[in-house]
Amino acid sequence: MSEVSDRGSDTFDNAAKASYRSRHLGVLREQVPELWNDEGRPRLRGAWLELMGATGWRTLRLLVDEGALTPSAFVGVDLDAVRIADYRARYPDARWLAGDVLDHVHRPDLEDVSVVHFDGYEAAGGRRLEHVGEQLSPLLRRAVARFGAAVLLWNADLDATRRLGQPAARALRLHATTLAAVLQGAVGARREFGAEGLLAAGAEHVVTDAAFVGLVGAFEIYRGKGGGHRMACLRAVLR
Ligand SMILES: C[S@@+](CC[C@H](N)C(=O)[O-])C[C@H]1O[C@@H](n2cnc3c(N)ncnc32)[C@H](O)[C@@H]1O
């Protein structure tokens, strides 16, 4: 396993990404008791949905090795049908879907999903965010109704729009504003999700320093590839 991501060859098989994956589990264990069965060995209630790429199997292995779930509670999705066929052959007990996850939201295989790892590396603050969020909303609402909570792990490329003239701080602010609207849409009137609850006013400016990694508001900023783009991850708990 190398130290940093090599995005060019889609190998997200490195120490930075491994600790990013384990932090998901930490947040789930510490902050979302509703999603754990406490009979004997704690297991996640509901299924975990993962955008796979070449290395999503690392998430599957982590969850299974940690005893958080059995493979049958893991749903792997990817746009690439060949990749999914390959995963199905390697891990026949997990659930596999080829195509755009947004087209699968109402399929029976996704009915019991309680955790969504939306790890598509789209641009933070990008224009597709809102659309993706709207499409995922029914799934998240279903999980809250069934389990009392849902978790959305949303990983976005913080520096993607820099070359288009949009600095990272502005991208992060836009990202927070859009995601707050997405989360609000998913929970309805039960709870208020303001952008400033995710990212206090002015806090975004810390990412102007291109060397900054760490926590800012509800976002974890980390760097995969050395000298490459930083990622912004939001781990949102919906109730
Ligand atoms: C960065 S990789 C995922 C890495 C993996 N989660 C891990 O932990 O190593 C992103 C993958 O998401 C897939 N993807 C992006 N948007 C998608 C969508 N809307 N539906 C299905 N797959 C999607 C892409 O095909 C790509 O292979």
Distance in angstroms (rounded) separating the CA atoms of residues 185 and 191 = 10
pTM, two decimal places: 0.93
* Structure confidence at residue 10 (pLDDT): 43
- 153 and 115 Cβ atoms separated by less than 8 Å: yes
Q: Is residue 167 part of a domain?
A: yes
**Over the stretch 85-143, which tens digit does the pLDDT of each residue have?**
999 999 999 999 999 999 999 999 999 999 999 999 889 998 889 999 999 999 999 99
The range of the structural domain enclosing residue 77 comes to 7-238
In the reported structure, the alpha carbon of residue 40 is separated from the centroid of ligand 1 by a whole-number distance in angstroms of: 33
Q: Is residue 174 part of a domain?
A: yes
Name the nearest CA neighbour of 61 among 36, 91, 31: 91
Q: What angle do CA 39, 42, 46 make, to 5 degrees?
A: 95
Residue appearing with tokens 């930075």: 16
Residue nearest to atom 5 of ligand 1 (CA): 56
Q: Is residue 131 part of a domain?
A: yes
In the reported structure, the alpha carbon of residue 32 is separated from the centroid of ligand 1 by a whole-number distance in angstroms of: 25
Q: Is residue 146 part of a domain?
A: yes
From the CA of 55, give the closest atom in ligand 1: 9
Residue nearest to atom 11 of ligand 1 (CA): 53
Q: Between the CA of residue 199 and those of 22, 88, 170, 228, what are the distances in Å?
A: 23, 39, 12, 24
Domain count, the chain: 1
Residue 20 sits in a domain whose CATH number is: 3.40.50
Distance in angstroms (rounded) separating the CA atoms of residues 158 and 164 = 13
From the CA of 13, give the closest atom in ligand 1: 9
Distance in angstroms (rounded) separating the CA atoms of residues 170 and 125 = 8
**Over the stretch 155-184, which tens digit does the pLDDT of each residue have?**
999 998 887 888 999 999 999 999 999 999
Q: Is residue 2 part of a domain?
A: no
In the reported structure, the alpha carbon of residue 190 is separated from the centroid of ligand 1 by a whole-number distance in angstroms of: 31
Q: Is residue 1 part of a domain?
A: no
From the CA of 50, give the closest atom in ligand 1: 6
Q: Which residues line ligand 1 (CB under 6 A)?
A: 12, 17, 21, 50-53, 55-56, 58-59, 77-80, 100-102, 119-121
**Over the stretch 176-228, which tens digit does the pLDDT of each residue have?**
999 999 999 888 888 888 899 999 999 999 999 999 999 999 999 998 766 67
Distance in angstroms (rounded) separating the CA atoms of residues 77 and 92 = 14
Q: Is residue 147 part of a domain?
A: yes
